């Protein structure tokens, strides 16, 4: 089969390398100077990271120069390891589409994984939303997870001063505590505890000079590519969240993270799908910006299999129907990370929408 190129030449589709599955994307975020580039350097030199492309969504300089050997195309460089790196100074969506196009046309090596390094000042939520909603990107890429670097030496102070850094830690699937060589054990433990209460489900790993096993940081999504099946328990980690005692959180109003709450709602009866959707719509309309992340495993009336939902602020992935329940429980479990909102409000409104027949649907 042939297709017309913009310049009028014909392209033989046998020349195209179209990936069979969406490519895994990991978002690497973390505050300025927290060690993102150092981590990338280490990761990209690891044999397990072959077939990786990196987009550095930065305005500053890229610190990967010593690894560069060859220019693949104008703004893309091939690293020693065979990985690919390009800098997107403008629009990330354009950059990703362009990189995908070049991969399909075999102009760059056939990478299977993409890491996006965000600028240190970024709120990662809009980037996650873009990945989930852009129609061209969401078919070609799937979000594997968010890796957040936190500087063990300055992390606590940064969390005090910069709301962005709190959000970066709150939406992480994996947290990497960097520069742990620079702090004493008690200070590191206190920071770990703080990060854990911000985001109870994210494992925290330590690293010095970016040294970490890449296997710990990737494959954080619902779908386990090794087993070729979803691993919903590892993904949801409902048991890590505060289930009942809403008073556990510290209430130091001078700390940004005092405003962040992570909790799990459970619901025993099957949910009415329309009512549940109306509830979510209500939450998004009224509080979208304050809902950093929602993940859920739902028991929906008249559907035997569980339904998985995943949202970031205003945006939701399309719900996924799994083949089977991960355990014997048929409870719906929804985990939230929110800002300036009370768990009780979620609990009461979920009940009202599902059980009060006069509630709007």
Residue 308 and residue 296 in contact, taking contact as beta carbons nearer than 8 Å: yes
**Residue 44 structure tokens:** 């990209």
Three-state SS at 267: strand
> How many residues interact with ligand GTP (rule CB under 6 A)?
18
Q: According to the binding rule CB under 6 A, does residue 230 interact with ligand GTP?
A: no
Packing angle, helices 92-104 and 124-133, rounded to 10:
50
What minimum distance in Å lies between the beta carbon of 33 and ligand GTP?
Answer: 4
Q: Which stretch binds ligand GTP (CB under 6 A): 30-38, 97-105, 128-136, 271-279?
A: 30-38
Q: According to the binding rule CB under 6 A, does residue 179 interact with ligand GTP?
A: yes
Helix (H) or strand (E) holding 27: strand 23-30
Q: According to the binding rule CB under 6 A, does residue 209 interact with ligand GTP?
A: yes
What minimum distance in Å lies between the beta carbon of 211 and ligand GTP?
Answer: 8
Packing angle, helices 185-198 and 163-170, rounded to 10:
70
**Subset of 295-334 contacting ligand GTP (CB under 6 A):** none
CB atoms within 10 A of CB 226: 8
Q: According to the binding rule CB under 6 A, does residue 208 interact with ligand GTP?
A: yes
Which of residues 30 and 155 has its CB atom nearest to ligand GTP in the complex? 30
Q: Give CA separation, 259 vs 25, 167, 311, in Å.
A: 29, 11, 20
What minimum distance in Å lies between the beta carbon of 158 and ligand GTP?
Answer: 11
Interface residue with ligand GTP, options 16, 22, 32, 138 (CB under 6 A): 32
Q: According to the binding rule CB under 6 A, does residue 187 interact with ligand GTP?
A: no
Q: According to the binding rule CB under 6 A, does residue 89 interact with ligand GTP?
A: no
Ramachandran quadrant class, 33 (left: phi over 0; alpha: psi -120 to 50; beta: rest): left
Question: Contact positions toward ligand GTP, by CB under 6 A?
Answer: 30, 32-38, 60, 63, 120, 178-179, 181-182, 208-210
């Amino acid at each position: 089969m042939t297709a017309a190129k913009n310049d009028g030449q014909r392209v033989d589709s046998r020349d195209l390398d179209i990936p069979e599955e969406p490519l895994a994307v990991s978002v690497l975020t973390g505050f300025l100077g927290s060690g993102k580039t150092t981590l990338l350097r280490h990761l990209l030199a690891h044999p397990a990271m072959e077939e990786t492309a990196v987009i550095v969504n930065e305005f500053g300089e890229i610190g990967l120069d010593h690894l560069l050997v060859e220019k693949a195309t104008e703004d893309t460089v091939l690293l020693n390891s065979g990985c690919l790196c390009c800098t997107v100074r403008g629009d990330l969506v354009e950059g990703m589409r362009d990189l995908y196009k070049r991969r399909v046309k075999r102009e760059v090596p056939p990478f299977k994984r993409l890491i996006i390094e965000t600028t240190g000042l970024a709120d990662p939520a809009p980037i996650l939303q873009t990945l989930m909603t852009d129609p061209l990107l969401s078919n070609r890429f799937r979000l594997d997870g968010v890796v957040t670097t936190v500087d063990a030496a300055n992390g606590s102070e940064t969390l005090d001063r910069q709301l962005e850094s709190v959000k970066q830690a709150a939406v992480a699937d994996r947290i990497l505590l960097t520069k742990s060589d620079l702090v004493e054990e008690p200070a590191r433990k206190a920071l770990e505890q703080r990060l854990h209460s911000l985001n109870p489900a994210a494992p925290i790993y330590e690293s010095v000079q970016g040294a970490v096993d890449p296997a710990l940081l990737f494959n954080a999504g619902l779908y386990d590519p090794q087993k070729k099946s979803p691993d919903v328990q590892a993904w949801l980690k409902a048991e890590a969240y505060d289930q009942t005692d809403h008073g556990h959180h510290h209430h130091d109003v001078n700390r940004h993270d005092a405003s962040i709450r992570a909790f799990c709602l459970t619901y025993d009866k099957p949910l009415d799908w329309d009512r549940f959707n109306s509830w979510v719509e209500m939450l998004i309309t009224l509080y979208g910006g304050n809902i950093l992340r929602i993940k859920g495993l739902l028991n929906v009336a008249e559907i035997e299999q569980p339904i998985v939902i995943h949202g970031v602020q205003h945006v939701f992935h399309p719900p996924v129907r799994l083949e089977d329940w991960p355990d014997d429980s048929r409870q719906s479990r929804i985990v939230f990370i929110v800002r300036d909102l009370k768990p009780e409000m979620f609990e009461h409104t979920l009940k009202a929408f599902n059980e009060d027949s006069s509630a709007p649907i």
